[in-house]
Amino acid sequence: MGTIVKVSGPVVVATAVENAKMYDVVRVSDLGLVGEIIKLSASEATIQVYEDTSGIRPGDKVENTGRPLSVELGPGLLKSIYDGIQRPLDVIREKSGDFIRRGLTAPPLDTTRKWEFKATARTGDTVSTGDIIGEVQETALINHKIMIPEGTQGKLETLQSGTYTVEEEIGSVKTEKGSVKLYLRQYWPVRNIRPVNRKLPPSEPLVTGQRVIDTFFPVAKGGTVAVPGPFGSGKTVVQHQLSKWADSDIVVYVGCGERGNEMTEILTTFPELLDPRSGKPLMERTVLIANTSNMPVAAREASIYTGISIAEYYRDMGYNIALMADSTSRWAEALREISGRLEEMPGEEGYPAYLGRKVSEFYERSGNAVIKSAEERNGSITIVGAVSPAGGDISEPVSQNTLRVTRVFWALDASLASRRHFPSINWLNSYSLYREGLSSWYNKSVSPEWSKTYATAMGILQKEAELQEIVQLVGYDALPEIEKATLDTARLIREDFLQQSAFDDIDTYCSLAKQSMMLTMITRFGELQSQAVEKGTLMSQIQGMNVRERISRMKEIKDQDFGKYYEDSMNEIMEAFVPLTGGVVKND
């Protein structure tokens, strides 16, 4: 048994820890605080403790569990809320009340709950890592596939359908090294990447129902997104919207060092919200990891890995996963804090020199993958990582290291947020490297005009930025009428398309078909307006036209009614412009 020789905040040094290996989980003092060995010398082990170390003193014992930090995987993960080291917070509440006391443990998966297991493989089958041998209906939405754990290979000796708890044996495999028992549950060390056969280029968008994202800066299933922004710019709302409406099968939401009330908001709203595709409560497909800012800092460091390991496990079943990490800056700060306590030589802004490596390792666990299994199946993990740069300045190390590895960048803009333009994604600074690759999908699945409409709209927005500079010098009235028309169209795009209210029952989700029609209507209106101006109409006349209301009302129209609304409105707009364009409406 080891003995503590030094305590400094969450870092504890102990001597004579039995069989100490790097990243072994240990129990510290009689309280049994959970810790992990992060540095070893011949005589001493340095341990980061996942709980508050007040009252711990030199001489207290340290016990090695001999196992690395692992997650428990099996049916019952969905609908759960865990802390950073996968302790179920609902069970902890029953045990210790409203405040989290130290040294508590609870099994992550309910060991008493019985699951209906249906075997799909048969005795005598040859099985290896990743093969699906049966399934459990975990929630109304998700069919949980039971897979052969990593490193097991051989012939199925027994396998029986029936009702089991996660601890009961469901069958066994005869391997070269003897018989291996199978359970509904398996373990995975969180710091190891779950291997896949190979990764495929992402080919389908993650449809989010958010116009500025789907139309302008789409992310592919299996892609990576960085969302940096100062406080108050709406990072969390963007993440919440994505976890509500994105068309992934499963959402893993990691609240890493953020506000407690935000997790409460998810816990109260998700069970009531219905998935737009299946009509089932969103909670049925969600796993929450909550390590709020005031919870121990070392567990915050672990929470990201706990989340991604759970995501990888469901990906291996063949599902598409969206993982939200809010916020990776807090995770990086946890790294910095631990690094400081270890008295390591700091890199930029006090962050450890290995920050870049850790960030890229994390994002590399995303992707669209061919699963390691005899049967051919694919699954994907999309990672959306919020970054909270100090003072909103993205030249700081966490933002820069993140932008180096992510392929989509949604630049949240404080000045848009302060005028309540939400989502405050800046259309000039943001980018998506998936847009080109996905455009053929959009043209095929949504509208053949998609790429063209996008290009027109983006062109108008860029032109607006140039014109705004001129307006700053000479004033609006000095502009030629045709440029006033461009400014007006840009304003329609900003106000009636890009702005989207997360809190409006209808506007919170917008289907791709509706997005395409909305943007077509605005760009068409813009063209007609320009034609009318060329014929000598003044912008002040056009601005008074009642037909503009057809555009400003678009957001209020439900998805299913929008087709008809679009037809009617287009006709009405065309008609209204007939006298202004000299009787001929040019239809190009």
476-505 positions binding another protein, by CB under 8 A: 476-478, 495-496, 503
Both structure tokens of 250 = 């499963």
Q: Which residues are registered as beta bridge partners of 220?
A: 205
Q: In what order do the strands lie in the sheet with 178-183?
A: 126-127, 154-159, 169-175, 178-183
Give SS3 for 274.
Answer: strand
CB of 379 to another protein, least distance (A): 29
Q: Which residues are registered as beta bridge partners of 381?
A: 321, 367
Give SS3 for 275.
Answer: coil
CB of 543 to another protein, least distance (A): 8
Exactly one of 30, 116, 167, 549 binds another protein (CB under 8 A); that residue is: 549
Q: Between 8 and 571, name the residue whose CB sits nearer to another protein.
A: 8
Exactly one of 28, 56, 310, 490 binds another protein (CB under 8 A); that residue is: 56
Give the alpha-carbon dihedral of 538, 539, 543, 544, to 10 degrees.
-10
221-250 positions binding another protein, by CB under 8 A: 230-232
CB of 14 to another protein, least distance (A): 11
Q: Tell me the window of 54-62, 116-124, 194-202, 433-441 that interacts with another protein (CB under 8 A).
A: 54-62
Say if CB 181 and CB 169 are below 8 A apart.
yes
Residue 436 binds to another protein (criterion: CB under 8 A): no
455-474 positions binding another protein, by CB under 8 A: 471-474
The whole-angstrom separation of Cα 439 and Cα 453 is: 12
Both structure tokens of 303 = 């929470």
Pairing of strands 250-256, 186-189: unpaired
Query: What single letter denotes the amino acid at residue 18?
Result: E
CB of 577 to another protein, least distance (A): 18
Both structure tokens of 156 = 């199925």
Q: Tell me the window of 95-103, 123-131, 245-253, 527-535 that interacts with another protein (CB under 8 A).
A: 95-103
253 to 282: interface string for another protein, x by CB under 8 A? --x-x-xxx-xxx-xx--------------
Q: Tell me the window of 134-142, 194-202, 277-285, 333-341 that interacts with another protein (CB under 8 A).
A: 333-341
CB of 341 to another protein, least distance (A): 9
Q: Tell me the window of 91-99, 203-211, 242-250, 449-457 that interacts with another protein (CB under 8 A).
A: 91-99
Number of residues that bind another protein (CB under 8 A): 81
CB of 356 to another protein, least distance (A): 17
Exactly one of 293, 378, 400, 443 binds another protein (CB under 8 A); that residue is: 293
Exactly one of 393, 466, 567, 575 binds another protein (CB under 8 A); that residue is: 393
- Reference 362, options 329, 338, 392, 390; nearest CA is 329
Say if CB 81 and CB 265 are below 8 A apart.
no
Both structure tokens of 440 = 């053929």
Q: Tell me the window of 165-173, 191-199, 285-293, 306-314 that interacts with another protein (CB under 8 A).
A: 285-293
CB of 308 to another protein, least distance (A): 20
Q: Which residues are registered as beta bridge partners of 228?
A: 387
Residue 413 binds to another protein (criterion: CB under 8 A): no
CB of 390 to another protein, least distance (A): 6
CB of 187 to another protein, least distance (A): 24
Its sign, for the CA torsion 346, 348, 353, 358, is: positive
Q: Between 504 and 567, name the residue whose CB sits nearer to another protein.
A: 504
Most distant pair of Cα atoms in the chain: their distance: 94
346-385 positions binding another protein, by CB under 8 A: 346, 349-350
Pairing of strands 186-189, 70-73: antiparallel
Q: Between 168 and 507, name the residue whose CB sits nearer to another protein.
A: 507
Q: Between 234 and 379, name the residue whose CB sits nearer to another protein.
A: 234
The whole-angstrom separation of Cα 385 and Cα 545 is: 44
CB of 573 to another protein, least distance (A): 16
- Reference 551, options 583, 528, 585, 578; nearest CA is 528
Instruction: Tell whether omega for the bond before 327 is within 30 degrees of 0, i.e. cis.
Output: yes
Instruction: Tell whether omega for the bond before 88 is within 30 degrees of 0, i.e. cis.
Output: no
